[in-house]
Amino acid sequence: MTQADQPRGASATASKDRVKIFDTTLRDGEQSPGATMTHDEKLEIASMLDEMGVDIIEAGFPIASDGDFAAVSEIAKNARQAIICGLARANLKDIDRCWEAVRHAARPRIHTFIGTSPLHRAIPNLTRDEMADRIHETVTHARNLCEDVQWSPMDATRTEWDYLARVVEIAIKAGATTINIPDTVGYTAPVESADLIRRLIAEVPGAADVTFATHCHNDLGMATANSLAAVEGGARQIECTINGLGERAGNTALEEVVMALKVRGDILPYETGVDSRKIMAISRRVSAVSGFPVQFNKAIVGKNAFAHESGIHQDGMLKNPENFEIMRPVDVGLTETSLVMGKHSGRAALRSKLKDLGYDLADNQLQDVFVRFKALADRKKEVMDDDLIALVQAEERAAEDRIRVERLRVVCGTDGPQEAELTLTVDGEERSSTATGDGPVDAAFNAVKALVDHSARLQLYQVSAVTEGTDAQATVTVRMEEDGRIVSGQSADTDTVVASVKAYVNALNRLLVRREKAGKDAREVSYKDVG
């Protein structure tokens, strides 16, 4: 790469240390309430991660369910370059199940963990010595199965120093090749993160022979800073997720650490193997399949990350983009121009534009999107990049839906009552209903409830504009909970009420899948108990 090709702000260095990128979107990221992905979605995300150059993909928690086991196994079989890792608790049954799933990979890894802080030691009610013995036993067992073993002391940053050093030494002697130091609850600060890694490497026997990793959560908003500090302290593996997806406030965001290392190579002399030009495509896909929208001001991948509205900023950008952009849009996979498509654009132009946006569609998929595109172009004067992305994502979400929206008519206004007439297709059968409610969206949702039996509670209803103007598409996200099962749904349309109903129905489709899976798992457990 020439100096001209480097991201803005980067400076060439003679030699850079390699930092491995360990992506846990499919495991820790999927644990976010409502972010559950289907089998095919997991395989697709894993393929994109592999293609973009991620070093290790934590594909799942094989013992959690038969579905998780199947996904990890198939990801392992299909991986081209990446190490495929599965997670296992500190017991032999978990580790054996994990190995059965990842053994198909050309480069398998077992990741086993146990909570070592006083709070976490109390959960299994183990003494320090009893836990130390279990760590030795389980890491040894994992190493006998697999040459590449990662071990994590969960809640390491709240574990007493003497005990943390003791168990890290035990794991190294038992054969762990990577020692991951998790900040499980996002408690630590950058100076502590760097000092902890530095001290472990300096004081624990055998530490120089293994790779130290960092796994940070964002509860105090410092996950990226803590991860980069750990690298400066000697860690050479960062655990992260696309869009920072994860439990509570999320994990370290892959896009943030990768671009920080690229842009600030002058003070962070480290490099990764990630092709940053693929970041936007996978960010959009993870957002779509997880149902978690990316906030507009999110670093690197947010809608406003490369937008400039201030007159001073716009003037500076016109004179020289480097005045207000420390990296180029193209460095993260954004097209430099937002080509406007219209009703006269043909299939070839649409295919080319979608390919620029990271979507390489098969002919039948392109035809379906083309029909939707023409319909949208008749309603909008200009169809922008984000409009096209919303169309593709809507088509992907609707591909295997059991419930589909056929017709919707709403009556609203100041006089009330607000009324919705709705027709759905449910398993191939048309059903219609009329309902009233407190506003058109509430009326439409009540009509859905009358047609599809469910007891799910609406946890989140969120509307955002895809583009600007009164004819902009609205993207609606809903999150629902039923009997502990949390699902999300998304849709976009120029009519906000239509988008709302489609998002609600999308969530219900996911709920049906979760119900069937739960029923299947229960039947399998019952069968095993009888057998």
Which residues are part of a known binding site for Mn(2+)? 28, 215, 217, 251
Q: Give the domain CATH number at 461.
A: 3.30.160.270
Q: Whole-angstrom Cα distance, residue 54 to residue 57?
A: 7
Which tens digits make up the pLDDT trace of 226-237? 999 999 999 999
Q: Whole-angstrom Cα distance, residue 407 to residue 147?
A: 57
Is 23 inside a domain boundary?
yes
Is 84 inside a domain boundary?
yes
Tell me what pLDDT residue 423 has: 94
Q: Could you say which of 382, 397, 412 is where a domain stops?
A: 397
Can you tell me which residue has the tokens 């506003």? Answer: 439
Is 506 inside a domain boundary?
yes
More confident residue, 59 or 393: 59
Whether residues 268 and 310 fall in one domain:
no
Tell me what pLDDT residue 190 has: 98
Q: Whole-angstrom Cα distance, residue 45 to residue 54?
A: 12
| Contact (Cβ atoms closer than 8 angstroms) between residue 179 and residue 199 | no
Which residues are part of a known binding site? 28, 215, 217, 251
Q: 492, 504, 444: which is closest to 466 by C-alpha?
A: 492
Is 5 inside a domain boundary?
no
Whether residues 314 and 370 fall in one domain:
no
Q: Could you say which of 227, 255, 290 is where a domain stops?
A: 290
pLDDT at 399 > cutoff 90: no
pLDDT at 527 > cutoff 60: no
Whether residues 39 and 84 fall in one domain:
yes
DSSP string of 419-486?
EEEEEEEETTEEEEEEEEESSHHHHHHHHHHHHS---PEEEEEEEEESSSSTTPPEEEEEEEEETTEE
Cis peptide before 108 (omega within 30 of 0): no
Whether residues 318 and 458 fall in one domain:
no
More confident residue, 240 or 358: 240
pTM of the model: 0.79
Give the N- to C-terminal CA distance of the chain in Å, as an integer: 61
Whether residues 220 and 319 fall in one domain:
no
Whether residues 107 and 249 fall in one domain:
yes
More confident residue, 6 or 152: 152
Is 483 inside a domain boundary?
yes
Residue 208 pLDDT level (bands cut at 50, 70, 90): very high
Whether residues 330 and 343 fall in one domain:
no
Which tens digits make up the pLDDT trace of 2-34? 434 455 444 444 457 999 999 999 999 998 877
Is 60 inside a domain boundary?
yes
Is 297 inside a domain boundary?
no
Tell me what pLDDT residue 310 has: 42
DSSP string of 479-521?
EEEETTEEEEEEEEESSHHHHHHHHHHHHHHHHHHHHHHHHHH
Instruction: Give mean pLDDT, residues 317-345.
Output: 68
Whether residues 329 and 207 fall in one domain:
no
Whether residues 180 and 65 fall in one domain:
yes
Is 8 inside a domain boundary?
no
Report the greatest alpha carbon distance in the chain.
Answer: 77
Instruction: State the residue range of the domain holding 498.
Output: 400-519
Which tens digits make up the pLDDT trace of 425-476? 998 899 999 999 999 999 999 999 999 989 999 998 989 877 777 777 888 9
Tell me what pLDDT residue 14 has: 43
Q: Whole-angstrom Cα distance, residue 302 to residue 280?
A: 9
Instruction: Give mean pLDDT, residues 357-386.
Output: 79
Average pLDDT, the chain: 87
Q: 452, 447, 445, 495: which is closest to 470 by C-alpha?
A: 495
| Contact (Cβ atoms closer than 8 angstroms) between residue 271 and residue 53 | no
The number of angstroms, rounded, from the C-alpha of 261 to the middle of its chain's C-alpha atoms is 21
Instruction: Give mean pLDDT, residues 182-203.
Output: 98
Instruction: Give mean pLDDT, residues 361-368.
Output: 82
User: Could you give the percent of the chain with pLDDT greater than 90?
Assistant: 59
Whether residues 361 and 444 fall in one domain:
no
Can you tell me which residue has the tokens 């495929």? Answer: 84
Tell me what pLDDT residue 37 has: 86
Token pair, residue 249, equals 């406030």
Q: What's the domain count of the chain?
A: 4
Least confident of 75-79, 411-415, 441-445: 411-415
Whether residues 187 and 121 fall in one domain:
yes
Whether residues 189 and 240 fall in one domain:
yes
Tell me what pLDDT residue 414 has: 81
Burial class (CB in 10 A: 0-12, 13-18, 19+), 407: exposed
